[in-house]
Each structure stands twice: as structure tokens, then as C-alpha cells.
Structure 1
Amino acid sequence: MPMQSVFLQDTLKILKRAVEIGGFDEVVYDYLSRPMRVVAVSIPVKVNGSVKLFEGYRVQHNNALGPFKGGIRFHPEVTLEDDIALATLMTLKNSLAGIPYGGGKGAVRVDPKALKPSELEELSRAYVRAIYMAIGPEVDIPAPDVGTNPQIMAWMVDEYSKITGRNVPAVFTAKPIELWGNPVREYATGFGVVVMAREAWSSLFNGNLSGVRVSVHGFGNTGQWAAYWASKMGAKVVAVADTSGTVYDPNGIDVGKAMEIKNKTGKVINYPGGQRLAPDDALYVNADVLMPSAIENTIRADNVSKVKAKLIVEGANGPTTPEAEEYLTKRGVVIVPDILANAGGVIMSYLEWVENLQWMTWSEEETRSRLENILIGNFKRVLDEYGKIKREGVTMRDAAIVLAVSRVEKAMRLRGWI
């Protein structure tokens, strides 16, 4: 095991706590605190006429429940330790979702914005060539993450298909609609975040989302679609933010316009209305619901006292540190944890995978209905568990991870691993 990053330390701390709360054997923690396999590769790509070597990983954490499943991140600050943390969370997320997947995660240390399209394509294809022996539709099924998108998945599935000599659509998910994808996948994660916000607000605050003030921190794919569906379900989106800054308007933001500006200019701060604030100010504005949808460790001990929301629904992976969560819990703030809140994407990936394996398709409406039903069922199971184990200091995250660990533990025990 490499030296642990803060994110990995926090992930293992959360896992250890759930194992203790759930009364599981210590061997369960031993299994889940380390990955089953780590593939580390060096990827040569010609950039501006010279060969540059990029560092890449594929972490395969646990496959007791099924094939490894998780995204591929292209980002200049990725580390192997963080990739292990993300793969661990994917095992828990997939278990909690009730789908037949284990957890995995991939990464390449690169700034994709610094590459020409032809260089990005070559990097994507070269990554597949480097790891193809470790992946497959019944082995490990990658998908997009930060810095990757459906086009990159299209290049990757094409490269894998060339290597194997046949079309293999089910090896990657979140592909373009024209290449065995499903239209719901583009917005599935953001849609799921809002479904969780709606269910949590209804169950815990006794109301619907009509007029509820929502702030979205992070305005990539998840954040944009979370804002879109929040607005569509009647909420008032008062703040959206990316690295360029926060747009804040207490009277409500035109989400469609904000999405258009972001996708045309790359910066949401170019939105013509509202106040312009610092990027992290979206975390602190007057809002009822906060959806942190950027990266990990955005709500920390040093800034948590400025958060005003009553309900936090985690669109990103690991956006709230354990210290910050403890502070918020004492204040009565409810956090719908990442492994529950942002599972819409991987659940939709599962539905796409099922379509691909059978060479069939569902309509957008039927697919979204299937997705929503799974999400609602997951929320109810976590809420029930939360009610059973709730005592001072115990959180909804604890309940979610106890349920997730329980399913993996049963699978490992039935297999004879423990």
C-alpha cells in the first residue's frame, strides 16, 4: 500500500467506523481497506512533436458482487492513493445501489485541456492498449469521470474492439447515443442528486422542492444537470459555481442560460445576471440545499462553519471531510452521502450495460423511470437503516456504508473468502 493521501485516510476512517457500527469482523475491514489489484502503466504519446510519458492507473478494488466498475479520470493532480480511495467508494456505492458490480477506478495524470484533440484521442487509445488485458464486459467496465466524456469512451470502446477483433459495446459505459449509449446517461448523475434531494427534503423536512433554495458548487456535467433537474422539479437555484467563480442571485438563476454560457465560453461567471463571487462562495450562500458537485475535500474543518444549508446532497465523491461532517451533524445538518446521492450515473451505466449485453435498447422515458425507481428504493433502505441505528453522532453516511458493507460481506462469506 502506498503512503496514504488525506482523501484515502478519510475514506478508510469512514469505512472503519462503519465496520465498527455494523459489528462486522475485523477481516472485513482488512479486505475492504486495500484493493485486490492495481495496474500502473506508463503511456507514451507524441505531444507537439515529442514523445511524452503519462502515468496511468486502473485500481480494481473488490469484485465479490460482480465485475469491477468505475470511471476513468484525466486530471493533472491525480494520485494512485486517491484512485484507491475512489475505487473503494465505488465498491460501496455499487453495493448500496443493489447492482451486480464490484468497485474500480482509473486515472491518467494529465491536463486534458492542454492536449490537441488528436493527442487526447491517442492518449485515450493508448491507455486502453496498456490496460486491455485487465478489463472486459465481464471483468472490469470503465466509464467517464472528471476530465473524460462520451467521446473519449467512444475512442476507448473502438480501440478495445479493434484489439479483440469484434464489437464489444459492453466494455465501457456512458458512450455516445449513436454508439450503443443511452440518452439518460448524460444527465443520470445530476438527475439522481436531485431525486435524492427531493426524497430527503420530503422525508426529513416535510415538503416538496417547490421554492426551496438550492446552491450548486461545481458546474461540470453533474452540477449542470443537478441544477437543471432541481429547477425542473420546482426548486429555486440561487447559486452555481465553477473554477471561474460563483454566480449568485437570490431571485433565482436561469439554469438553461447558465448551462449555455458555461458550454459556450467554458466559464459560468460569464452569465449575464446575478452577483459574481469567489468560486467557493457557492458553499456559503443562503440556501436550503447545497449540492457540492466538484471534487473531494471541498467542505473541510477550515471552512465548514460558513456553510448555511440545512441539507447537503453530495454530487461529488468525498466532498465533505469527516471533521466537517461531525461539525455539521452536531449542528443538525443532514448530509445525503456521495455513495447514495451520486449513484445515478453508475446505476444508469448498469442499465446501459444490460442493454449492450443483450443488443437491445429502452426508450429514454422507460430508462429514466427504471433509474428513478432504483434511486427511490435505495433512499428508502438507507433511511430505514438510519432510523434503526440513529443515535448521537451517527450519520446517514454511516447507515449507507453499513448497508453497503453488509452486502459485500455476505457475498464474500458465501464465496468462502472469509
Structure 2
Amino acid sequence: MTENTTTQLIQEVIDYLIETDIQELSDWGDRRTEWLNQAGEQLKGIDKIISGDLRIRKDNGDIGTYPAFRVQHNNACGYYKGGIRFSTGVNKEEVETLAMLMTLKNALHELPYGGGKGGVHIDVREHSDRELKEVSRAFVRLVQNDIGPYRDIPAPDVGSGAKLMDWMTQEYKTLHPNQPYINTFTGKSIQSGGTKGRSESTGIGTFLSYYYLVDTILENTVEVDANYTDEKDLITSIGEKENVRVAIQGFGNLSRAAAIEAEKASRKHTVIAVSDSRSTLYSEEGLDVKELAAFKEKTGRLPSEEELVGMNTKCDRLNPDAVLTLDCDVLILGAIEDQITEKNQKDIKAQILVEGANGPITKKADKYLTEKGKIIIPDILANAGGVTVSYFEWIQGFTNEVKEKDKILENMSARMKDVSTGVYKQHFSSIHKESLRFLCFKLSIIRLVDMLNRSGNVI
């Protein structure tokens, strides 16, 4: 989902809120239209962009140059918060879009953060640890005056991780002696002040966002409006299956955790496919997820055909994109943006799609799939487990109270359940037919407009 698409949807929601008499805005009175227009202009803009080229001396003596960005979108709800990705897909527009989505996500989940995002254009596979460390340190030097525990708190994202966050924390500490530093970055290693459960939290939360959707319908906790009878019937049919077939794009931290969580679920789920940039592994009988996860953690990739010989996992090895179009009930998108487009939208067979990654479905494909009766759980609802546990880590940095992994993940799951079931109950009981994505944007924007008004930024 591009920046242009995100701003278009923000404007669509603003227009809807101006034109529609809804209860949430009943006390805004005559100023509602003016407040919404002012807020819309702010939310479609960017507070600040820090950019520059990072230069390091590579192991072979050459100078490497890497464009880098930190975007601070909006801080109406709190300090800027968002990951730093190291990827060849990084560009200014991408980072701006991701920062906007972080603002909306944090508002939806009622976290005390605004939205930010960072990125470095680099292929991590072609660089040594020493080179990545130098790039990480250079990134901190670029943004050092614009980040901090009370200003902007970065975290890991695609291509980065705890090791890079540790390096960045140390560089920030060196540059700012005798200043608070431990909660400037989250997603650190446990030894460096990180929180247990952070690496798997996004994937667990992604799966749970789907699981709570099914719970909401099967447990009859909501009055379903006639607009949503077909959706209710679809969810019921999947929830009552003896075995729900799940395909998962990607097999990084997010997707591995989602796969393991699926197999642990009380209703039987079978992971029939996982993928990485090289291949899709597929078996209708189900994959040995734990065996594949152990292999991936050791080698950084899924096994080749030769390496599959002798393993418990018996499967077909297909092309990387095959995972998207397999016959399955649930498709979890855990890779990168723009994976389902006009080119492959007609081939999607999954009935429920869960956006673990940011923006994996383009706007046109989203519209097409929704009209075909597919249910899409949007990124700003589904993938908030990571930022939620980052919030716990940030608090831990102030209190020095270290909680066990099970307790942290239990607290994260409880927050995800509260937000997800709240969204689903509003969705199914609404007399206005709208997608889950539109509803999530609407709820986020209502909170943001309220906070902008309370802070005096719209008057």
C-alpha cells in the first residue's frame, strides 16, 4: 500500500465522518466538519523527515553509500514509535507510508505513541557483521538529535533485529553520555535490556487477530447485522471445520511464530505451506513446523530439495509466489508489501487473509477480494503484537521490573483480544456496510482527531 493509497483512504474516512451522523462524534457539535478537515490535512502530511547518505568503509576497502531515512509522521497520541528496516526496498515514499500506518496502528490499539519509521537502503545478505555494525552506528549519528526515550523510540523491522538494536543503543549511549538511553530503542536482546517474547510477539498477535475473529462469531458475542450474514456464514464454516488449512507467506520471526501458534490452537489448524524468497514448501497433510523453524534459525533459509531428504517434513518445493494462490482456508501474509495485486488477485483461493506484513495487498486487489466475499484482517489491526511488547519493554526500562516471557505474551494477547474483539463487534453490528480496513482507519482517525483537538492542534 503506497503513501498515495494511504492518504486517499485517510481522506475517504474524513469525508465519511463529515457526511455521516455517527454516535462517536455526537458531542463534537458544529465544529465537527472544521475539526475533521484540519485533522485530515495534518494526518496526510509528515511532521519531519531526517534523511542522508550513510558512508562506511567496507571490508574490501571500498566506500559503501546507503541512503537512510527516519520519518516522524504524527505524535498526537504520544512519542513517535516505529521500526527501522534494512532492505533494498527502502525509499522515502515507503518509509513515509509505514510511518503513517504506525500512527494509525498505535491509535487503534490505544498505545501512548505516535507514528514513526526508519529505513536504510541496503542488502544485509551482502554485508558482514562489521559492515552492518558500522551502518547501524552511522544511522544513529544521522538521527541522534531526533530520537530518545521521550521523543522517538525506534525498534527492529525487516532486515534488522536485536543485534542491530544493541549496536544502535550502544552508539546512542556513547553520543549522549550521562543521559537516559536504555529505552531509546526497543527490540533489544535480553542481555541489553530487551523484553522476553519480543521476537515472536508480532507473529503470535497476527494469528490471534484471526483466531479472535472466529471466536467472536462462534461464541455469539455480537449481534450480526443483515449486511454481514455472508461473512458470518463464511467464518462459521471455517471455525467449525475439523481441520483449518493455513498457508503462510514468509518464514522470518513473524511467520515462524504465527505457524507455531496455529499448531498450538485449541481448534485444529494445519500449516500446509510456508515460503521464503527462494521457495514455497507445501504439503496437504501438513508441514513439520518446528523442524523447519529450527532449520531456518540455523541457516537463515528454508531447506533445498536435497536437504529435505531425511527430514520429517515431506513436501513439494514450489516457486516462492505459489504460497499466495494455494487452496487453503486462511492465508497469513508475513513477508513484505504489495504481494497481492491486480496480477494475481483472481487466483487467491484463501477465504480469510491476515496482513502480518505492512501493506501486502494493494488497494485495487483489496477492493476486488472484498467484493468477492473474502475477509481481510488489515495490518494495523493484525500486526500490533510487536509494538505492544515494545511498549512493555519501554516501561521496563523505567521500572527495571523484568517479567517472564509467559506473562508478557499473556498481557500482549489480552490487549490484542480487547482491541480485536471490540473492532469485530462494531463491524458485525454496524448498519453501514464497510470493510474491516475502513473501520480500523475510522476508529484510529476518530481517536487521532480527538487527541489533536485536546492538544490544541485543531481548534
Question: How would you bin the TM-score normalised by the shorter chain?
Answer: over 0.9
Distance 2:371 2:354 in 1: 17
Identity of aligned residues (%): 35
Given the alignment, which residue of 249, 260, 284 partners 1:217? 249
Alignment: residue pair count: 412
Q: CA deviation at 1:342?
A: 0.4
- Within the candidate set 8, 11, 15, 1:13 is matched to 8
Structure 2 unpaired stretches of 5+: 19-32, 218-234, 309-313
What are the Cα deviations for residues 153-200 of structure 1, in whole angstroms up to 9, with x where unaligned?
000111111111146211000110111111210100000011111111
Maintained 8 Å contact 2:213/2:421: no
2:176 aligned with 1:179, yes or no? no
Q: What does residue range 7-406 of structure 1 map to in structure 2 within 5 Å?
A: 7-23=2-18, 25-47=36-58, 48-166=60-178, 168-204=181-217, 205-206=235-236, 207=239, 211-233=243-265, 234-270=268-304, 272=308, 273-389=314-430, 391-392=432-433, 394-406=434-446
Question: Post-superposition shift, 1:358?
Answer: 1.5
Measured against aligned partners, the alpha-carbon deviations of 1:123-157 in whole angstroms (never above 9, x if no partner) come to 10111011110000010000000110100000011
2:139 counterpart SS class: helix
Aligned to 1:412: 452
Cα shift readout 1:202-242 (whole Å, capped 9, x = no counterpart): 33423378621100011111111111111121410000011
Q: Quick one: which amino acid aligns to residue 14 of structure 2?
A: V
Q: Distance in 2 between matches of 1:317 and 1:18?
A: 19
Gap change, CA 1:227 and 1:7, over 3 Å in 2: same
Q: Could you tell me which residue of structure 2 aligns to residue 3 of structure 1? A: none
Q: Is the 8 A contact 1:14 1:322 kept in 2?
A: no
The farther-off stretch of 36-45 and 164-173 is 164-173
CA pair 328-391 structure 1, distance change in 2 beyond 3 A: farther
AA aligned opposite 2:321: D
Q: Which runs of 5+ in 1 are unaligned?
A: 1-5
CA contact (8 A) 1:336 1:397 kept: yes
Q: Does the 8 Å contact 1:209/1:235 carry over to 2?
A: no
Quote the Cα distance in structure 2 between the aligned partners of 1:354 and 1:285. 42
- Distance in 1 (alpha carbons) for counterparts of 2:261 and 2:338: 25
Amino acid at match of 2:69: Y
Does the 8 Å contact 2:73/2:114 carry over to 1? yes
Alpha-carbon distance between aligned partners in 2 of 1:11 and 1:144, rounded to the nearest angstrom: 22
CA distance in 1, matches of 2:375, 2:169: 40
* Kept after mapping to 2: 8 A contact 1:121/1:155: yes
**RMSD, aligned α-carbons:** 1.5
- In 2, the alpha carbon distance for the partners of 1:117 and 1:235 equals 38
Match of 2:229 in 1: none
Contact 1:389 1:399 in 2 (8 A): no
**2: CA distance between counterparts of 1:311 and 1:150?**
32
| Bigger Rg, which one | 2
Mapped partners of 2:242, 2:361: distance in 1 = 26
Q: TM-score, normalised by structure 2?
A: 0.87
How far is 1:60 from its partner?
Answer: 0.2
TM-score normalized by the length of structure 1? 0.95
Output the CA distance in 1 between the equivalents of 2:68 and 2:333.
Answer: 27
